[in-house]
Amino acid sequence: MILLKPKLSTYISLSAVVLILLLGLILTLRDFTYNRSFGLWFYLVACSIITLVILMLLVKMMAGWRFISVGKDQLVIKLPLRNSTKAYPVTEILAWEEESVLANKREFKQVTLVFQDRNSISVSNHEHESYSEFISYLKKKAPKQLVKSKKT
């Protein structure tokens, strides 16, 4: 049984970034309240941008919080924040594709699976543990559904 779960280090670093941004937002609002060192437009723009970045990071963190169990010719996807669990037999995989990008001398990989009910999931090697075992399982159990991507 293979268990893909979120890497704790990824969520710790994203949480640290969110906390730093929250601190920056609080300090900007405090400066507006007591000092007003800058014009009103600066505070409006800065607070809006910081808030949008915080919200985007929080949504990314919540959307990526999933656990996938693979084994016995079945994929079980648990989304704790939605309180839902879906089980898919391997035969219900319509297609899967692995993408790979080389950046900063590190390889970032992501696999996308599409199921017969038109739901899809994406799993990356930097956000989930047991990624390579998952790929080898897919290559063994669903080799015909692999989408060959064109190299440009």
Give per-residue pLDDT as tens, 102-118.
988 889 999 999 999 98
Distance CA(67)–CA(73), nearest Å, equals: 17
pLDDT, residue 151, reads 58
Distant-in-sequence, close-in-space partners of 71: CB < 8 Å, separation ≥ 6: 1, 2
CA–CA gap between residue 119 and residue 30 (Å, rounded): 45
Total residues found in the chain within this entry: 152
H-state helical runs in 74-118: none
Asked if pLDDT for residue 3 goes beyond 60, the answer is yes
- Angle of helix 40-63 relative to helix 8-34, nearest 10 degrees, comes to 160
Give the DSSP H/E element, type plus range, for residue 41.
helix 40-63
Residue 141 has pLDDT above 50, yes or no: yes
Pairing of strands 67-71, 93-103: unpaired
Pair 62, 81: CB distance under 8 Å: yes
The pLDDT, as a whole number, for residue 108 is 93
Give this prediction's pTM: 0.80
Q: At 42, give phi and psi (nearest 5°).
A: -60, -45
Whole-number Cα distances in Å, 61 to 51, 54, 127, 136: 15, 11, 10, 26
| Confidence at 152, pLDDT banded by 50, 70, 90 | very low
Residue in the structure block whose two tokens are 């084994």: 71
Residue type, 58: L
- Per-residue pLDDT tens over the stretch 41-71: 999 999 999 999 999 999 999 988 899 999 9
